[in-house]
Amino acid sequence: MPRPSGQHFLLSAKARTLSLAQVFGLTDAAAEEVFRGIRWADTEGNPVCPHCGCPICYECRRPSGASRWRCKACRKDFSVTSGTLFASHKLPLRIYLAAIVIFVNEVKGKSALALGRDLGVQYKTAFVLAHKLREAMAIEARENRLGGEGTVTEIDGAYFGGHVRPENLKKDRKDLRRTENRSGKRRCVVVVRERQGRSLARSFATEDAATGFIRAHVARGGVMHADEASSWNRLHAHYDLRRVNHIHGYSIDGACTNQAESWFSRLRRAEIGIHHHISGDYLDRYAQEAAFREDNRRQPNGELFRLVTSLVCATKPSIDFCGYWQRAQLAGKGA
């Protein structure tokens, strides 16, 4: 596909519509106003009760100055972040907004340690914050439905995690291709990427296990491209599937999966260069974050900030990450 001529989007002024300095310069009141404007965009920043949806709420701030409203209908209290992913926040709102800017400014991802250093908070705080932002990004990526008449999609899979370090001496080394010598943490990320469209990613134990997921999320009627892996054979019954054998070339007879491959290139660089370990329980989150970043790569950073903040507002308090370290501590004590 021909590239648009001229300057790369990320080099243009249009890509930079919000700076970190602007966010760190916000007063508490201004940060609250920014958050309110995005959370309650329909009512121009006027609070709406998260419990019952009533738009008539009385302001009754805490003595500390922290936000609090009381709903006229249900009489319940709520703050600017109640009912969102940032519920029960401990740090100033400005720090959370700054975290979003830092997070969206990175192209391949942000490590929790670096985020902690940027914000001046503990690693644990940054770790949970980064995962909450991934959770918000995942909402958008998870809703994607691809395929259908006139579309062209590409599918591919790649394995992540579960690295086993080989022994020092050759005589002690095991054959790491054998299942019994692996760590069991290795998982396959499968991506479906629509040309000129969105992408969808999920992790599975093997590439074979992804067939049901693909059928559930990709409508029939379009053309699908896949490589020579036997895992995709079953999809021939459901889609107009074009295959390319990578032993012979990257693009043969119009079949190619280069866009799916390039999607993996970004996730692989995030693994190698940023996070180092993205295996195990949170692989799905990293994959969905990568899908979000890829799909929104041509958005100005101010727009990305607004998008992620509105996703944070639309997301209920995190089940996985609300009180994450406190629960880990209790589990450690055997409670």
Task: Kindly state the smallest distance separating residue 315's Cβ from Zn ion, in Å.
Answer: 20
Task: Kindly state the smallest distance separating residue 82's Cβ from Zn ion, in Å.
Answer: 11
Mark the segment that binds Zn ion (CB under 5 A) among 41-49, 147-155, 168-176, 231-239.
Answer: 41-49
DSSP string, 31-96: HHHHHHHHHTGGGTT----TTT--S-EEE---TTS---EEETTT--EE-TTTTSTTTT--S-HHHH
According to CB under 5 A, which residues from 224 to 243 bind Zn ion? Answer: none
Closest listed residue to residue 211, CA positions, set 186, 229, 185: 229
DSSP string, 284-328: HHHHHHHHHHHHTTTS-HHHHHHHHHHHHHHSPSPTTTTTHHHHH
Is 49 a binding residue for Zn ion by CB under 5 A? The answer is yes
- The pattern of x and - marking residues 263 through 302 that bind Zn ion according to CB under 5 A reads ----------------------------------------
Mark the segment that binds Zn ion (CB under 5 A) among 53-61, 141-149, 190-198, 285-293.
Answer: 53-61
Closest listed residue to residue 294, CA positions, set 172, 149, 191: 191
Task: Kindly state the smallest distance separating residue 70's Cβ from Zn ion, in Å.
Answer: 9
Is 113 a binding residue for Zn ion by CB under 5 A? The answer is no
Is 54 a binding residue for Zn ion by CB under 5 A? The answer is yes
Task: Kindly state the smallest distance separating residue 69's Cβ from Zn ion, in Å.
Answer: 9
How far is CA 258 from each of CA 45, 192, 263, 301, rounded to the nearest angstrom? 44, 12, 9, 27
Task: Kindly state the smallest distance separating residue 330's Cβ from Zn ion, in Å.
Answer: 32
- Check: CB of residue 296 under 8 Å from CB of residue 144: no
Alpha-carbon span 53 to 67, nearest angstrom? 18
Q: Which is nearer to Zn ion, 74 or 252 (CB)?
A: 74
Instruction: Please enumerate in sequence order all residues whose Cβ is within 8 A of that of 222, keeping only pairs 6 or more positions apart, or say none.
Output: 147, 148, 149, 150, 151, 152, 153, 239, 240
Determine the size of the site formed for Zn ion (CB under 5 A).
7
Residue entry with tokens 């990175």: 106
- The pattern of x and - marking residues 67 through 86 that bind Zn ion according to CB under 5 A reads ----x-xx------------
Task: Kindly state the smallest distance separating residue 32's Cβ from Zn ion, in Å.
Answer: 20
Q: Which is nearer to Zn ion, 51 or 217 (CB)?
A: 51
Is 56 a binding residue for Zn ion by CB under 5 A? The answer is no
Residue entry with tokens 């080989």: 166
Q: Which is nearer to Zn ion, 49 or 130 (CB)?
A: 49
Q: Which is nearer to Zn ion, 55 or 302 (CB)?
A: 55
DSSP string, 199-220: EEEEEESSSGGGHHHHHHHEET
Q: Which of 14, 20, 40, 51 binds Zn ion (CB under 5 A)?
A: 51
Q: Which is nearer to Zn ion, 75 or 220 (CB)?
A: 75
Q: Within 13 Å of residue 316, how many CA atoms lie on the same side as its CB?
A: 3
Q: Which is nearer to Zn ion, 49 or 136 (CB)?
A: 49
Q: Which is nearer to Zn ion, 79 or 111 (CB)?
A: 79
Element holding 113 (H helix, E strand): helix 112-119
Mark the segment that binds Zn ion (CB under 5 A) among 52-60, 106-114, 213-221, 278-286.
Answer: 52-60
Is 52 a binding residue for Zn ion by CB under 5 A? The answer is yes
List residues binding Zn ion (CB under 5 A).
49, 51-52, 54, 71, 73-74
